[in-house]
Structure 1
């Protein structure tokens, strides 16, 4: 299927426009980090380190008369007429702009010397964009073939109905100005236009932007797009987020907008870290949306029709009996015979053959970062009186922290109450009040957050624990400031929030439990 046809089917879903058309005179815009965050995307540090992303449009400046050296009035009149029709806003622009890039930038979206026009956007929402064939041809082999190839056509206007005007202007800005300025709402459209006209550096910048702004809220939708755009690295990053934070990803607003093939790949995924009942609910969520897209009433019968064989990828028999009885058994999407057979699967010694998979998903295997080389206990040391043990850490790759390993009592078995926290720049990202039982050994005891927390590379996070229980405990010694686990490198430093003695060299919080990246299938 042609990419343009493919994109025209999917574009309305992921790309939300604040207005149907953006006139040339209104393309100035400021996008701050808060607006990007609200849309599920964040500004990519690989594109710009600034707090804002500015998109500017060359202004139209009235021309001024330019006198000829000879003072010839006819020359003055002729020259003024030329300048009045098209201008860069600076009559002396060739001399004032010292580099080729600056002079090309003066031509961006400018009628001056333009020899081609693009009518960009869907019918009724178009924008006419002037351009210069030579500039476009030097940056894109597609434009070169279009204007100078053996089958080149001499057209004054070219219609581009499958591209968003802001995305097309982003492409032209890169070709004219060597600048890449991306926005959350149009980055997918920009990726499409970069691939359509074979501009790989711009496409790579779009992928980097999407990777750095990837969260559970947009992972499924970006997975759907990355499959269509054939971006295996972005797909791998999406799967890492979906696997680790499956429950959040399945409940995201964008999940019902994915295509059927992406839905099937999600439902078939072996490493999803969630209960099967959440997958069943997500499938119903998607089926209801698909019924509305097909102008069908979202009844159980129609939901089953639109799901097709995808329904049999949900491992309903791996739910527990209570989950099945209160959920799928009463939903109405299963036939009476299927419902009876699954109940017999739970209760009978002779189990019927089912059309649904009966083997539970493997899920993700957590990894553990040990930051001490040994542990010890001493009389009158490592006491707990409501004080905080805390350590800072950073990683070089995205991970998902599941919980902490803690030391327990050094004076016999004891129960502990503990409050664990994870912060970034003083802001609490996750916390949990929980308990664990210490058997009096020097083993670590794992405590968990309710959901995995996404940790971005090259930023410091603060892990804290406040324990209440057996007053004396083991503590770590010979701490390491750098630890490598698999392909992830951890760095540790002392935290100012630690008021009970924990630091890099010794103390509590000996382990970080996490889900980490795997080797991509295309690299195996």
Structure 2
């Protein structure tokens, strides 16, 4: 391809290299890329300077002669890799990250792998957690794997509902199901594993019978903690299927009657328990001008207080300043001081405590909230005594500290609490 006159003048090194690549000036190697063997030309010295693999390919007694076939990378992504080698710049996104990671590993391009890792790390959220974890698992990205596992362990119930959960490999699922930190009810895990097994049946052109689902689950079946399920749920949803053998079903029932099973894990996972003390009243508002809002509570069981739910605003998008103290017997036993960004119309926000607070059964605690910002939603139909299905009872009581902004056991801010079982 003919070059524009004086294309070197006033250009940076990366601009000149990119120009030579894009216009195929003085190229000395041709790659046949992808299934269609698309010809792509480049410069041996540039590739060798970036990659030990390319250096070995072009230098020494076993150096490649003539064209080089690359069947395992599509032209679109090979061109992206070349652009990065020539310019040190690239735009990584969810559509290209796996292919770029594959290329970075194949050609030992550590800087490209770092770019991909940075993109994945910035996308550790409920929507993308499954994809990021599987990618980290496939490409042995241990630091990223640890980060996304910790995120999933804190947000287990959210990631279970992701459509990408069904695309997990068995090995990736094993790393999740083995952990006591997965914050999910075992019933929810079981239901999603059933869907995963049914999906594998479909991929293998098998009818999704209980027997075939069991076969597809393989050893993963023995990571589901049937003994910690509610007995009624196990009876109605599990024992009536052919997923477990008669011996396995008997073993689970024996565990319900205090005879430990030697087939399935029986230690309970930790998970969040969300307690909502009221509904959102969309037609009224609550002032957040600065005075404290307080309410007291007791629990029937020992637990850890993880976070507090506060009302959002109907019309305001912007910042609220929040300070929360958890007080017991005149001592502050937990706290957080933070800001949160409100989006107009979002009803509630979860505010994490700096550290979870150990709550002792039948001991009275005060939530002392100071929130400054525009008017928020308020609540209605406040409930003073709440018992959830795990047997945790919460009793909301009149505040023992001065609640200058008017919150009490029957009105005000503090829509709910989240406990860590």
**Do the two structures share a fold, i.e. TM-score over 0.5?**
yes
1:427/1:127 CA distance change after superposition, 3 Å: farther
Segments of structure 2 that go 5 or more residues without pairing to the other structure are: 275-283, 291-305, 310-322, 327-338, 351-361, 383-396, 408-412
Matched residue of 2:247: which SS? helix
Q: Does the Cα contact within 8 Å between 2:285 and 2:375 map onto a contact in 1? A: no
Q: 2:153 aligns with which of 225, 237, 243?
A: 243
Pairing 1:187–2:97 present: yes
Structure-2 residue corresponding to 1:110: 23
TM-superposed CA distance for 1:320, in Å, is: 0.8
Question: CA 1:390–1:257 in 2, change beyond 3 Å: closer, same or farther?
Answer: farther
Deviates more, 1:465-474 or 1:191-200: 465-474
**Contact 1:110/1:130, CA 8 A, preserved across alignment:** no
Aligned residue in 1 for 2:346: 428
CA RMSD of aligned residues (A): 3.9
Counterpart CA distance in 2 for 1:442 and 1:147 is: 71
Q: Is the 8 A contact 1:220 1:258 kept in 2?
A: yes
CA distance in 2, matches of 1:303, 1:445: 51
- The alpha carbon displacement at 1:323 in A equals 2.0
Structure 1 residue 423 displacement after superposition: 4.7
Separation of aligned partners in 2, 1:127 and 1:501: 72
Using structure 2 for the length normalisation, give the TM-score.
Answer: 0.69
Question: Do the aligned residues in 1 keep the contact of 2:21 with 2:42 (CA within 8 Å)?
Answer: yes
How many angstroms apart in 1 are the aligned matches of 2:374 and 2:65?
62
User: Could you say if the C-alpha distance between residues 422 and 297 of structure 1 is closer, same or farther in structure 2, counting changes exceeding 3 Å?
Assistant: farther
Shift of 1:222: 2.2
Deviates more, 1:463-472 or 1:129-138: 463-472
2:169 equivalent to 1:259: yes
The 5-angstrom pairing of residues 79-98 of structure 1 reads 86-88=1-3, 90-94=4-8, 96-98=9-11
Q: Does 1:137 align with 2:48?
A: yes
The 2-side partners of 1:345 and 1:513 are apart by 29
In structure 2, the CA distance between the partners of 1:363 and 1:339, relative to structure 1 (3 Å rule), is same
- Residue in 2 that maps onto 1:161: 71
CA deviation digits over 1:328-350, x for unaligned, max 9?
A: 2234311233223323432x46x
C-alpha displacement at 1:462, in angstroms? 10
Structure 1 residues 336 and 388, CA, compared in 2 at 3 Å: closer, same or farther?
Answer: farther
**Take 1:463 and 1:344, find their aligned partners in 2: how far apart are those partners?**
55
Q: Does the 8 A contact of 2:184 with 2:270 survive in 1?
A: no
**Structure 1 residues 303 and 116 mapped into 2: Cα distance closer, same or farther (>3 Å)?**
same
CA displacement at 1:512 relative to structure 2: 9.9
The equivalent residue for 2:366 is 443
Q: Which residue of 1 aligns with 2:189?
A: 279
TM-score (norm 1): 0.56
Preserved contact between residue 32 and residue 40 of structure 2 (Cα < 8 Å): yes
CA distance in 2, matches of 1:184, 1:152: 35
C-alpha spacing 1:102/1:332, structure 2 compared with 1 (3 Å): same
Residues 424 and 205 of structure 1: CA distance in aligned 2, closer, same or farther (over 3 Å): farther
Structure 1, residues 347-396: CA drift from partner, whole Å, max 9, x if none? x46x3644111121245899xxxxxxxxxxxxxxxxxx9523389xxxxx
Q: Report the alpha carbon displacement of residue 127 of structure 1 after superposing the two structures with TM.
A: 3.4
**Relative to structure 2, which stretch is displaced further, 136-145 or 218-227?**
218-227
Contact 1:407 1:474 in 2 (8 A): no
Query: What is the DSSP-based 3-state SS (H/G/I as helix, E as strand, rest coil) of the residue aligned with 2:268?
Result: coil
Give 1:360-399 correspondences, 5 Å limit: 360-363=268-271, 386-389=285-288
SS in 2 for 1:117: strand
Aligned to 2:263: 355
SS at match of 1:183: coil
Contact 1:167–1:187, Cα closer than 8 Å, also in 2: no
Answer whether contact 2:24 2:41 (CA < 8 A) is retained. yes
Please list, as runs of the form range in 1=range in 2, the aligned pairs for 1:118-133 lying within 5 A after superposition: 118-121=31-34, 123-124=35-36, 126-133=37-44
Q: How many Å separate the matches in 2 of 1:181 and 1:244?
A: 30
The 5 Å alignment of 1:463-502 reads 466=378, 474=401
CA contact (8 A) 1:276 1:314 kept: yes
Report what 2:297 is aligned to.
none
Provide Cα deviations, 1:172-207, integer angstroms capped at 9, x if missing partner: 111112212222201121112112111111111110
Which residue does the alignment assign to 1:222?
Answer: 132
C-alpha distance in structure 1 between counterparts of 2:207 and 2:116, whole Å: 38
Check conservation: 1:423, 1:429, Cα contact below 8 A. Answer: no
Q: Paired residue for 2:312? A: none
Counterpart CA distance in 2 for 1:462 and 1:198 is 53
**Matched-pair contact (CA < 8 Å) for 1:342–1:354:** no
Give the C-alpha shift of residue 315 in structure 1: 0.4
